[in-house]
Amino acid sequence: MAIIPTYEIDLVKAKTSKINDVDFNNLTFGRVFTDHMFVCDFKDGEWQKPQIMPYQAMTIDPSARVFHYGQAVFEGMKAYKDEDGKVFLFRPDQNFERINKSSARMAIPEFPKDYFFKGLETLLKLDSEWIKPGVGNSLYLRPFVIATEPAISASPANEYRFMIICSPAKAYYNEPVRVLFAEKFSRSADGGVGFAKAAGNYGAQFYPTSLAQKKGFQQIIWTDASTHDYLEEAGTMNIFFRIGDKLITAPNNDRILDGVTRKSVIQLAEDLGIECEVRRVSVKEIKDAAKNGSLKEIFGAGTAAVISPVSAFEHAGDVFEIPEEENSYATLFKSTLLNIQHNLAEDKHDWRYEVK
């Protein structure tokens, strides 16, 4: 395989494609990957020339600091294709800013903007056949950075690897989930890394979530670490509550991820004339609203599922079922977002980014 020089990226094309071996009607999320990946190493105090190469396993030293001190951050984004074959990203500037914000918190050098966007665009043009049209279908993109320096002394690494891998995703028709309000475990704490997409944030959720699943609940709505009185995030998503016709969501802080879907929902609520309050939301307020019938909906918002409705919640032994709402905000926001992402609706905020 010969290296094909480009202006900014060295490109090595795969000899053959795996695409004909993939059943796009029966995809398991995050299990199938496209033909190519983007790689850029940080050495000698600077990011080196990026490469795009065939998707493959890589060799890494057992003493790489990522294995010992968890220096790893990532992003989640999607590419979409409309019926004319045009490819779009959704608010990629937000993902670029957030991965560098996450990196800074983990003492990882920030990645250059031109490398990020040139890498994404080159990769998507190369693997464009993996992006299937149709509302809900997409190509999930996973940019991430890991510390690769072989050393086990407890200090930030001097060498890193930035990568982007891609996985086709089918339309996500998710059933409403049952959730637990956290009473003991915490997702993050004041002064911590909750606002960053640090790998350890997600690994730490697996155990308490597995306990919830054994009780018949699919996810946890995390509460503040100090008192467990205030609701903050849902599993790996931001969380929204509808009381009457009013939408409520927790404010960003150093415990809560600044979700791209979250801020898009807040803007769409304004566009649609739906009152949205960004403020602290107490467990008591939501339980009281469930008791008096004013709690109409709870739903999560995130890249993978877009909007994920909640059908019931449990706290302190009390279980509350949430009746299905005929004029659901969750359904409205999901369809509105998907139509914008797939170039089927007006994009008055310039959220779509066309890959040309």
Cβ neighbours of residue 347 closer than 8 Å, sequence gap 6 or more: 340
Residue 1 has a pLDDT of 39
Residue 243 in contact with residue 290, Cβ under 8 Å? no
Residue 201 in contact with residue 163, Cβ under 8 Å? no
Residue 234, SS3 per DSSP: strand
B/e letters for 67-80, b = 16+ CB within 10 Å, e = fewer, are bebbbbbbbbbbbb
**Cα radius of gyration (the chain):** 21
Task: List the one residue out of 95, 108, 110, 127 whose CA is nearest residue 260.
Answer: 95
pLDDT, tens digit (0-9, with 9 covering 90-100), for 264-307: 999 999 999 999 999 999 999 999 999 999 999 999 999 988 99
Beta bridge partners of 123: none
Q: Where are the domains of the chain?
A: 4-169, 177-341
Residue 171 has a pLDDT of 74
Residue 173 has a pLDDT of 59
Residue 40, SS3 per DSSP: strand
Which CATH entry fits the domain spanning 177-341: 3.30.70.270, 3.20.10.10, 1.10.10.10, 1.20.1050.10?
A: 3.20.10.10
Kindly state the tokens that stand for 42. 């940080």
- The arrangement of secondary structure in 4-169, i.e. its CATH architecture, is 2-Layer Sandwich (3.30)
Find the helix or strand (DSSP H, E) in which 123 lies.
helix 113-126
Residues in the chain where the model's pLDDT stays below 50:
1-6
Task: List the one residue out of 106, 45, 38 whose CA is nearest residue 73.
Answer: 106
Beta bridge partners of 259: none
pTM: 0.95
